[in-house]
Chain A
Amino acid sequence: MEFLTQPWAWYVSGPLIALSMFLMFYFGKRLGISSNLENMCSVVGAGRLVDYFKFDWKKNNWNLAFMFGLILGGFLATNYLTPDTNIQLNPNTVEHLQELNFKEVGNTYLPSEIFSMESVLSIKGFSILLLAGLLVGFGARYAGGCTSGHAIVGLSMLELPSLIAVIGFFIGGLTMTWFILPVIFK
């Protein structure tokens, strides 16, 4: 059991992610999680406002089933497989975050500076969370996929559009981490 409850190494996790992709291909589907954002829009009736969402989401119920699986996976992993939520970060990373006034860096999966209830109930905190989501959702659908569809599946298929999208992910991510986060949190 112990190998299950300790953090999984990259060389275990990466191949298992590839195996998940393979299983989806075997089951006749191409793995892609951000499509579910559109499915959920369609489920809650966005088709009344934008014609695109009038598609029959029931045809994509396999992807919604996958999504509910993700939620259960998170629940099981947290409650039964993760006795220690400590993240072993590079000391330099910890130091940088402390300079940005982050406390208890790496003690839990999520920093309380962004994800605590206190943050949720403050205007700044709420705006950051909402904006982060907006960028992810808008960007993923504009690019035609997210980390799963482009970085994992697209690159495994050696697709050029996916390589371009992943380069874009990094341009955006590096800009946020190096130039914008210091402004937001300093």
Chain B
Amino acid sequence: MKLLKFFFVGTFFGIILSKSQAISWYRIYEMFRFESFHMYGIIGSAIVVGIILVQIIKQTKLKNINGEEVVFTPKKRGRYRNILGGIIFGLGWALAGACPGPMYVLVGQGSIAILIVLFGAMLGAFLYHLVKKYLPH
């Protein structure tokens, strides 16, 4: 039962990504060509509402489902990792037309080709941890 709530939020999220067409390769291409507001509207409005929700959580000291205060775990910092990793990710995002979330959603849509992309992504995550000691962070 503990896991079921995450499964349901995932399902909800998957339906949103699908119905907003954010999982479409074409939409990502169109976004990077600056020829549509659609994707900017989705990401932008998610962030604006997100900022408000995070502030509400902080101001009201909202308790989570376990009765504890919500913790905002920060991401790892580094002079190089965010920008270099980001650029590599961006190259893949525009080529695949999908980031990790949409990849899983497209598996549910029955795409065989996306399984290769997903396998590549797993391999990429694996390779990162194999060579990370040689990389600037």
Interface residues of A (CB under 8 A from B): 4, 7-30, 33-34, 36-38, 40-41, 46, 49-50, 52-53, 61-63, 65-78, 81-82, 87, 89-90, 92-93, 96-97, 105-106, 109-111, 114-117, 119-120, 125-126, 128-162, 164-178, 180-181
Contact A152 B87 (CB under 8 A): no
In the bound complex, do residue B94 and residue A15 qualify as a contact, i.e. CB atoms below 8 Å apart? no
Question: How many contacting A-B pairs (Cβ < 8 A)?
Answer: 507
User: B47 contacts A156, CB within 8 Å?
Assistant: yes
A137 touches B125 (CB 8 A): yes
Known: A130-B117, A133-B124. 17 other contacts (CB 8 A): A14-B42, A25-B70, A29-B6, A33-B101, A72-B14, A75-B108, A77-B105, A114-B25, A120-B113, A132-B96, A133-B103, A134-B123, A135-B93, A139-B91, A146-B100, A150-B75, A160-B77
Q: In the complex, what's the smallest C-beta–C-beta distance from A58 to chain B, in angstroms?
A: 11
A30 touching B91, Cβ below 8 Å: no
Complex Cα spacing A50 to B74, Å? 25
Q: Out of B4, B37, B44, B86, which one reaches A164, CB within 8 Å?
A: B86
In contact, A181 and B94 (Cβ under 8 angstroms):
yes
Task: Count chain A CB atoms within 10 A of each CB in B28, B68, B70 and give the residue with the most.
Answer: B70
What are 9 A-B residue pairs whose CB atoms fall within 8 Å in the complex? A14-B42, A30-B73, A41-B122, A81-B15, A135-B89, A138-B92, A138-B127, A168-B83, A170-B90
How many residues belonging to B are interface residues under a CB distance threshold of 8 Å? 115
Q: Are B83 and A137 in contact (CB under 8 A)?
A: no
Also in contact, A71 and B19, with CB within 8 A (given A37-B122, A152-B50): no
State which of B26, B121, B127 has its C-beta within 8 Å of the C-beta of A111: B26
Q: Which of B15, B19, B82, B109 contacts A161 (CB 8 A)?
A: B82
Task: Choose among A115, A144, A164, A172 the residue that contacts B25 (Cβ–Cβ < 8 A).
Answer: A115
Q: Is the beta-carbon distance between A15 and B49 smaller than 8 angstroms?
A: yes
Closest to A53 in B: B129
Q: Which residues of B contact A161 (CB under 8 A)?
A: 74-78, 82
Q: Which residues of A contact B12 (CB under 8 A)?
A: 16, 20, 69, 73
Instruction: Tell me which of B17, B24, B31, B50 contacts A73 (CB under 8 A).
Output: B17
Q: Could you say which of B9, B36, B75 contacts A162, with CB atoms under 8 Å apart?
A: B75
How far, in whole Å, are A46 and B129 apart by their CA atoms in the complex? 10
Give, as a whole number of angstroms, the nearest-CB distance from B47 to chain A: 5
Q: Which residues of A contact B29 (CB under 8 A)?
A: 93, 97, 177, 181
